[in-house]
Amino acid sequence: MKKKRVLVTGGSGFLGSHICERLLGMGREVICVDNFFTGRKDNILHLMDNPFFEIIRHDVTFPLYVEVDEIYNLACPASPIHYQHDPVQTTKTSVHGAINMLGLAKRIRAKIFQASTSEVYGDPEIHPQTEGYWGNVNPIGIRSCYDEGKRCAETLFFDYNRQHDLRIKVGRIFNTYGPRMAMDDGRVVSNFVVQALRGEDITVYGKGEQTRSFCYVDDMVDGIIGFMENTLDDCIGPMNLGNPGEFTILELAKTIIELVGSKSRIVFRELPLDDPMQRKPDITFAKRSMNWEPKVPLRDGLAPTVEYFDNYLKKI
C-alpha cells in the first residue's frame, strides 16, 4: 500500500518534532517544513536517516507547492519572548500562513489540522474554558499578535470549511511541556527547570497565584493525532487539548525545586501585561468524541523534562 504522505509545518519545533517522530512510527511519509526561526535541527537530527523523512526550509508566509494527503499546521512562534520579538511577522505567520496552507489543502483536497491555542480565550472570565466561550482578548496589547493571529486563523479555517467543504481540524492547545523545549523560550516550565538546575533564583511573576494546566508532550501528541484521525462528521473543532489538572505557578516552582534538589530561591517580579490569571481546559468534547484525556501526572512528566535539560546544559 502507498504510504500516506503528511506535511508538518513547524516540524522542527518542540511539538512539531514529536509529531513528526510519531507519524514516522505510524508508517507515514513525513515532510517537515520550517524556517528555523524558533525550530532547531537538534530536535530532528535523530530522524534524518529515515528515508521517509524530508526537510524543506521554508517560511509559510509564502506559498508552498507539494503533494500530500494531510497537513499539520504548527508553524508559529509559541512563546511570548519569541512572538513578541517580531510581532508583525508573528501575525503574518498565523494569518498568511493559514491562508497559504488552506490554499494548498484546497488545491490538493488534503485534510488539514490547525494548531490553535488556549490564548484565544485571553484572560478568561469563565473557568474552566469551554470551546463555546468566545474569550476576553485585548486586541491591541503586546500579546495580541499571537492571540488575535490565532483567532483570525480559526476564522479562516471555518470559512474554508463552509465555503469550500475543506476537511479541517482545529485544536486549541493548552500549556504543553517535555523534552525538546527550548531553554530560552521564556515558558514557565523551561524557565524554572533551567534556573533550578543552574542554582539560580527562580523568577515568579506576581504572587505566583495565577494558575496553569500542564500537559505532557506525549499526551498532547496522542490527542492531536487522535483528533486528526477521527472520522466523525462533527469532530472538526474547535477542540480543547490540554490537561485539566490545575496548578498555581508557585506550586510548579516548588515542585521543580524539589525534583531537581536545587538550592534555588523563589523571587517575585511584577506581573507582565495581559498575563492571564487562570487557564484550565474543559476537555468534555475530546473525551466524548475520541475518548482522549491526558494520562501523565505533572511530576511524572517533569522527571524526563528535567533529565533532558540537565543533559542539554552539560553539552553547552
Catalytic residue ranges? 146
Give Dmax (Cα) for the chain: 58
* Residue among 156, 138, 134 nearest 146 (CA): 138
CA distance 262 to 264: 5
Residue 6 grid cell: 503528511
Q: What share of the chain is helix, strand, coil (3-state, %, to 5)?
A: 40, 20, 40
Beta-carbon count within 10 A of 288 CB:
10
CA distance 100 to 110: 13
Residues with Cβ within 8 Å of residue 283, at least 6 apart in sequence: 240, 241, 242, 244, 292, 293
Is residue 20 classed as helix, strand or coil in its secondary structure?
helix
